[in-house]
Structure 1
Amino acid sequence: MISVFDHPWLGGLFAEPDLSALLGPEATLRHMLEMEAAYARVLGAVGSVEPALAARASDQILAAEPAMSALRSGMAQDGVVVAALVRELKQAVDAEAQAALHKGLTSQDVMDTATILSLKSANDLLAEKLGGLRADLDGLLDRYGDRPLMGRTRMQAALPITVKDRVLAWALPLDSHLDRLAELRPRLECLQFGGAAGDRAASGGKAGEISDRLAAELDLAPTAKSWQAMRDGIGEYASWLSLVSGTLGKMGQDAAIMALQGIDEIRLAGGGGSSAMPHKQNPVSAELLVTLARFNAVQVSAMHQALVHEQERSGAAWSLEWMVLPQMVMATGRGLSLAQGLCAAIADLGARG
């Protein structure tokens, strides 16, 4: 079965189209071409090839239309897509300009950098969604914050509180998540440039200049060394995704309990129906927030397993990231949209009395 995020009908619940477009194959391919084109331009800028040839190669790379079928079969054969991509580009770049094509790069440089460029765009959207949800929760506080609630500890009635007390436990962590994202982005959104063995040997004495120029071309942070076997930035990011989802899951769990008959502390408009019991309104969005939180909590362990990259490059750990990380980003983005929808669906909030 394909992913729930793009499944024909499960996607009705899980799909997040804007985010999917940023992480999809067309976007990734565009970023790989941008990396190859920027590298060609930098080779011209540092004098490794004639600047005119470099500019021509860059233009031809960006205009190329590699066949997805060729990339798919190349991936099956080589275990990475870039070898097939370069074969496709050699058909698009004239023989003379090929002096500026992929010379000194390796597959991981292209694939990791393309991934980071996708994540950079995704992070802009996630930050926007976090800010939007924070504003929506502030709106709930303005409308309902002074209303009474029964505080509950360990699922039992404790002492009276207000709506504000509970909703702040949903809202305040979002501020911390935005702060964490701002702090980790410079450690995550970095150029990958190492060459065959990660030591940039093919670039000789120009390696540092090439790295700095290439990072500037792509609006990424430069690094003193390739991070192809140092995946802590990716692991930290996965942890952040799970933290965000966990906060949203707490919000969803609270809302689902507050909607229980007999508690009736929240009224949601437009809840999910039942095929057998048409009188029901199921708190679908609240439930799914819990599901997505649990999903990401499980997946983060896989991303921490993927920190174990043997020697200078791993195939096993690296491909595990391809399977897991995009799903985590999608789960987080979908959770943020659901949480905003949940806020909009709240028709009443607070104890009845």
Structure 2
Amino acid sequence: MTNSGLLTPLYGADAVAERLTDEAWIGALLAVEVALSRAAARHGLVAGEDAERVAAAADGLAVDPDALARAAVEGGNPVIPLVRLLREAAGAAGSAVHPGATSQDVMDTALVLLVRGASGPLLGDLRGAADAAAGLAATHRDTPMMARTLAQQALPTTFGLVAAGWAAGLDAAARDLASRVALLPVQFGGAAGTLAGSSPAVADTLAELLGLAPQGVPWHTERTRIGALAGALGVAAGACAKVATDVVLLAQTEVGEVSEGAPGDSSSMPHKRNPIAAVTARASARRAPGLVATLLAAMDHEHQRGAGPWHAEWGTLTDLLATTGGAAARLRTGLAGLKVHPDAMRRNLTTPDPDTGHAAALVSRILDARAGDAR
């Protein structure tokens, strides 16, 4: 998994991974349980003082992640043993824990909270990479270089237009991902998705307390939101990979049109200066399509509760968040310090006096549109 261990900083996943730790999972699960008790109290299903005792018990609850993980094996998810611990800690108010809910309500809503938290640094890095690309576009609006099609020299363009295209793709990916995250709702349907023992009003109040979108109806086995989120994450990783690939190719010794500001070295060849931020951005992005495919394949939840597909989502989605976040973080680092070599670009031109007026005009159009979006 990308979000743990020695390789996390290498792949750029550390900022996102910090939001997806075992402790973060437990905190999100407890936050849902506390909000659920308070929502039930607001609608008279449990006593208000009992809901506050549950909140106090959750605040003081020390949970060993390893022990919880082992206890989760029997029931197939960590909510069951966590509810048991919280009820014991709440004492006489234990009946106010988990009112009208099923484990999936808490797991899904906690996962939405984790996605919301992890999307902060991820979107920040996507937008930061786009800003860096836009800055390169503005600076090199008129810097001529050779465009390449099918990996062969084609016609003159400008580096500004190349970088503006990078910015446009990253901006589009960030906008779509942000909208998908914002639309993720609370989940609350009870044992069979019928809200038996509770009410739609409790679900709406739960969403309000957690700052999430209302669900409309429970979505236990209707997983289009998860599929759409997976797609948006995959597109974002792909947008990062496209830019990183261009940087790797343009930084080749024989081309030499760009270089990273803080290149990596080699253990055996001290003369090398590798575009390692772009390389590791590509490495992170390469993992995304398989994870997206797993989440799309897991959309076929059976009847009113998925028997396996649901369980496959948790680790897959958190890995996808981490690997996409890693790609964005490493790309941002690479673009922020990217050195452009106009002399090499001109040397590689086959046209002595290139006509790049239209390319420069397209840069202006892209940057003007971007500025309008920011307003």
Normalising TM by the smaller chain, what interval?
Answer: over 0.9
Which of 251, 257, 264 is the matching residue for 2:256?
Answer: 264
Deviation at 1:281, TM superposition (A): 1.4
The alignment status of 1:24 with 2:21, answered yes or no, reads yes
- Partner in structure 2 of residue 71 of structure 1: 68
- Partner in structure 2 of residue 195 of structure 1: 190
3-state SS, counterpart of residue 264 of structure 1: coil
Figure out how many residues of one structure are paired with residues of the other and give that number.
345
The alignment status of 1:328 with 2:310, answered yes or no, reads no
Deviation at 1:301, TM superposition (A): 0.8
Between the aligned partners of 2:226 and 2:24, the Cα distance in structure 1 is 19
- Partner in structure 2 of residue 81 of structure 1: 78
Q: Which has the higher contact order (CA 8 A, sep 6+)?
A: 2
Percent identity of paired positions between Structure 1 and Structure 2 = 32
3-state SS, counterpart of residue 169 of structure 1: helix
Deviation at 1:303, TM superposition (A): 0.8
Between the aligned partners of 1:18 and 1:217, the Cα distance in structure 2 is 26
- Partner in structure 1 of residue 177 of structure 2: 181
Deviation at 1:4, TM superposition (A): 4.0
Deviation at 1:60, TM superposition (A): 1.8
Q: Is 1:192–1:228's contact at 8 Å kept on the other side of the alignment?
A: yes
Q: Is 1:148–1:161's contact at 8 Å kept on the other side of the alignment?
A: yes
Deviation at 1:55, TM superposition (A): 2.0
Distance 1:173 1:243, change over 3 A: same
Between the aligned partners of 2:2 and 2:232, the Cα distance in structure 1 is 22
Which of 230, 245, 254 is the matching residue for 2:237?
Answer: 245
- AA matched with 2:195: R
The alignment status of 1:39 with 2:31, answered yes or no, reads no
3-state SS, counterpart of residue 22 of structure 1: coil
- AA matched with 1:280: K
Deviation at 1:297, TM superposition (A): 1.6
The alignment status of 1:162 with 2:154, answered yes or no, reads no
Greater mean alpha carbon deviation, residues 13-22 or residues 304-313: 13-22
3-state SS, counterpart of residue 202 of structure 1: coil
- Partner in structure 1 of residue 200 of structure 2: 208
The alignment status of 1:286 with 2:283, answered yes or no, reads no
Q: What are the equivalent positions in structure 2 for 1:111-122 lying under 5 Å apart? A: 111-122=107-118
Q: Is 1:37–1:62's contact at 8 Å kept on the other side of the alignment?
A: no
Q: Is 1:104–1:195's contact at 8 Å kept on the other side of the alignment?
A: yes
Q: Deviations over 1:282-330 (max 9, x none)?
A: 2222222222222112221111001110111113101211231111111
Task: Provide the alpha-carbon RMSD of the alignment.
Answer: 1.6
Between the aligned partners of 2:141 and 2:331, the Cα distance in structure 1 is 18
Q: Is 2:87–2:95's contact at 8 Å kept on the other side of the alignment?
A: no
Between the aligned partners of 1:302 and 1:62, the Cα distance in structure 2 is 35
4+ residue runs over 3 A deviation: none
- Partner in structure 2 of residue 131 of structure 1: 127
- Partner in structure 1 of residue 219 of structure 2: 227
- Partner in structure 2 of residue 141 of structure 1: 137
- AA matched with 1:146: D
Between the aligned partners of 1:271 and 1:179, the Cα distance in structure 2 is 30
Distance 1:191 1:5, change over 3 A: closer
Between the aligned partners of 2:177 and 2:339, the Cα distance in structure 1 is 32
Q: What TM-score, normalized to structure 2?
A: 0.88
- Partner in structure 1 of residue 293 of structure 2: 301
Gapped runs of 5+ residues in structure 2? 348-375
Q: Deviations over 1:250-309 (max 9, x none)?
A: 111111111112211112233222222211112222222222222112221111001110
Between the aligned partners of 1:251 and 1:76, the Cα distance in structure 2 is 42
- Partner in structure 2 of residue 6 of structure 1: 4
- Partner in structure 2 of residue 99 of structure 1: 95
Between the aligned partners of 1:117 and 1:42, the Cα distance in structure 2 is 17
Gapped runs of 5+ residues in structure 1? none
Between the aligned partners of 2:182 and 2:249, the Cα distance in structure 1 is 39
Q: Is 2:222–2:299's contact at 8 Å kept on the other side of the alignment?
A: yes
Greater mean alpha carbon deviation, residues 60-69 or residues 334-343: 60-69
- AA matched with 2:5: H
Deviation at 1:45, TM superposition (A): 1.0
Q: Is 1:5–1:15's contact at 8 Å kept on the other side of the alignment?
A: no
